[in-house]
Structure 1
Amino acid sequence: MDCISAKYISQKISKTRWRPVSAASLQQPEVFATGSWDNENNKVSIWSVGDRGGSTLDGDLDEEPQLLCDSQHEGDVMDLQFLDQDRLVSASSSGAVSIFKLQSDCQALSLAHVWERAHRCSCNNAPCTAIVCRSPEIVSVGEDGRVILYKADQAEVTRVIENADSSTIHAVTFLRTTEVLTVNSIGQLKMWDFRQQSDSPAQILSLTGDRMPLHCVDKHPNQQHIVATGGQDGMLCIWDVRQGNTPFSLTEAHSAEMWEVHFHPSNPNHLFTCSEDGSLLHWESTSGSDVSTLLQKGWNSRVVSQSALSLAGENDSAVSAWLAGDSSKSRLEATHMLPSQTLSVNSLDVLEQCLVCGTDGEALYIHRQVPV
């Protein structure tokens, strides 16, 4: 664990996000943002993995994150996303969606625009639970069951799906330019196409049996039909939105609520999950022949066979490892990324070989050499 450094910041951390890096730069990310919750005064903060030496969890010298700037945030930070290198969007428990402007030298963060009470009930505000950005578009969802589309350079809301859900929508991701996928508190995935005038979902998928709340969702960066979700029971579900309306595979990942799931953006055979149980797991979908190679790398792993059905008529070379049908050839490797269990790990983000996560224990953890 000598690649991991920890920093205690005296605030419960609800969200952590790396600032995007230029694809042409070939650099590792150095700047990230955090949002806090359940504090007397919540903040959005900008950090750098500075060059002043700090101590890792094993006592070795490492780069400790340094606070560059911050800004007060009304309400808990429910979600946080970079719109681009200079703008950051937050979702608030007050129902607001805000855009923060980051100076190019990262030394100042200022509030640029707020959509007040974007999410609300008849007599009160409703928390905005999640946002997703694809510049200039922003989409937010909330406890009020609304799906809202914005453009970052326009003060007025672009589109509102007023009664998108009768239950809380917990998370949202873009599938394609005009399509988003939401997950809710009764175990459903709903696909929305903004080209359609109708306020009805284009597709509904759901967990069978108990209507277990789903808390997080992410799509495969290269194959938009592959989606991962996690929920209250800690199960990792892989979905193929083209094939049927139920999960393609389910894996017992965590012993409590899963708060976030993320495919690695450039190496999507790798996936990361974090949970209320205090763990952060690194998953890799591999062929059976690759398992011994991974173990030789020194991974402290448990191997879980992937429960899946074969895709009839598919070209094997075109099928993602996440959808490989033969469980003897396709396996999930799970590695614990933190040295010991902590309080709830609320958020994670991974970019290149760098991972950052935040906890209710008021700790940031940075891993600068993720094996991907």
Structure 2
Amino acid sequence: MELFNAKFVSHKISRTRWSPVSSTSLQSPEIFATGSWDNEHNKISIWSIKTNVGDDHFEGDPQLLCEYKHDGDVMDLQFLDQEKFAVASSTGSLTIYRFQPSSQKITVVHQWDRTHYYSYGNAPCTSVACRSPEIVTVGEDGRINLFRMDHKGIEHTIDNADSSTIHAVTFLRTDEVLTVNSIGQLKMWDIRQGNKPSQILSISGDRVPLHCVDRHPNQQHIVATGGQEGMLCIWDVRQGTVPCSLLEAHSAEMWEVHFHPSNPDHLFTCSEDGSLWHWDNSGSDNLSLLQSGRNASFMSRNMSASSSINQPHISSWLNTHSAKGRLETTNLLSGQNMSVNSLDVLGKCLVCGTDGEAIYVTRHLGL
């Protein structure tokens, strides 16, 4: 079991994100940002886990560097580079902030107000995806917006992208994004051409809301989603319109799913039920799905896809139904019963935030 440093912060945490480190650097991440929600006064905060000589705190203990008042709930937070990050708000706004390490201050670079709205008022901006200089937002109003860091206006809008709430968005390729919605659909969009999805995928027979999505960092056709029933879905967007595998996971809503960015045989999920799961798919001896303390159910629904893929190497995530696959899960926060709303992983470091007004950090993931 990984050892976590806990920091109690007196406000509910909705998002946690590591500041990126150089791809050529061997340095571990040291800076992360958090956003709050459901508080009288919400804020974004910058934290450090670097231990300086003379500090009287434990190694890895998060130390607050600075904070900034934020209007509305922080719905999403994504870094554009090592200093700038985009924040989506329940007020419908998108704001670009900059953290200045030298002065340890947060400043506003630019803000787009009312990017998501109804005829009678603002709509929450539910998710943001960044591929600098481009930024994509989605919202409760079913709208998709494309922005550029160097332009003050909105580059492109798909006004009626969805008749339901779009909960999350991620880039698939340079001009292509994926969205998930409240009726259980995964949609692919060309954000520069047309106003219709190029592909729609869904869980057969279900209309269970999907809350989160992430793509495999090396094999962009492999996608993971999670939703209201806590089910982890693995998709191959090249094949068919249904998931390759459905894995029984949490007992309540899954809020976030993340492939490890440099070791994608490992995946992490968090849930309303207070659990934080590490999924290890790196083995290849036998088929087992283990959760700390009990056996967990495994459901493989080879819906049409993975067995027909004709290629020399099939990702282990697309082959979980096979006896060659081995999948283990561990709850990293056993005994935690308040919702774990957000997580982020980089190198051997993981940070998560909860409704229990706490941040948990480990720098020693077992990968």
- TM-score band, normalised by the shorter chain? over 0.9
Which amino acid in 1 is paired with 2:125?
Answer: C
SS at match of 1:322: helix
Task: Sort the Cα spacing of 1:325 and 1:211 in 2 relative to 1 into closer, same or farther, 3 A.
Answer: same
Equivalent residue, structure 1, for 2:34 = 34
1:143 counterpart = 2:140: yes
Which amino acid in 2 is paired with 1:248?
Answer: C
Contact 2:275/2:334 (8 A) holds in 1: no
| Percent of aligned positions that are identical | 62
Contact 1:12/1:361 (8 A) holds in 2: yes
Describe how 1:204-283 pairs up with structure 2 within 5 A. 204-283=200-279
Q: How many residues align?
A: 361
Describe how 1:120-139 pairs up with structure 2 within 5 A. 120-139=117-136
Q: CA deviation at 1:300?
A: 6.8
Q: Could you tell me how far apart the structure 1 residues matched to 2:173 and 2:2 are? A: 39
Contact 2:178/2:186 (8 A) holds in 1: yes
Equivalent residue, structure 2, for 1:185 = 182
1:364 counterpart = 2:347: no
Q: Could you tell me how far apart the structure 1 residues matched to 2:294 and 2:26 are? A: 30
Equivalent residue, structure 2, for 1:21 = 21
Q: Could you tell me how far apart the structure 2 residues matched to 1:371 and 1:106 are? A: 35
Contact 1:68/1:106 (8 A) holds in 2: no
Q: CA deviation at 1:341?
A: 2.2
Contact 2:172/2:220 (8 A) holds in 1: yes
- Judge which range, 328-337 or 211-220, deviates more: 328-337
Q: CA deviation at 1:303?
A: 6.5
Task: Sort the Cα spacing of 1:234 and 1:204 in 2 relative to 1 into closer, same or farther, 3 A.
Answer: same
Equivalent residue, structure 1, for 2:319 = 324
Cα shift readout 1:93-151 (whole Å, capped 9, x = no counterpart): 00000000111436010111110000000010000000000000000000000000000
Contact 2:77/2:128 (8 A) holds in 1: yes
SS at match of 1:117: coil
Q: Name which of 171, 196, 219 aligns with 1:200.
A: 196
Cα shift readout 1:181-228 (whole Å, capped 9, x = no counterpart): 0000000011101242x2011111111123000000000001111000
TM-score, normalised with respect to structure 1 = 0.92
Contact 2:287/2:323 (8 A) holds in 1: no
Q: Structure 1: which 5+ runs fail to align? A: 55-60
SS at match of 1:311: helix
Q: Could you tell me how far apart the structure 2 residues matched to 1:272 and 1:106 are? A: 34
- Judge which range, 143-152 or 319-328, deviates more: 319-328
Q: Could you tell me how far apart the structure 2 residues matched to 1:193 and 1:129 are? A: 20
Cα RMSD after superposing both structures = 2.0
1:172 counterpart = 2:163: no
Segments of 4+ moved more than 4 angstroms: 299-306
Q: Name which of 264, 271, 285 aligns with 1:289.
A: 285
Q: Structure 2: which 5+ runs fail to align? A: none
Contact 1:305/1:332 (8 A) holds in 2: no
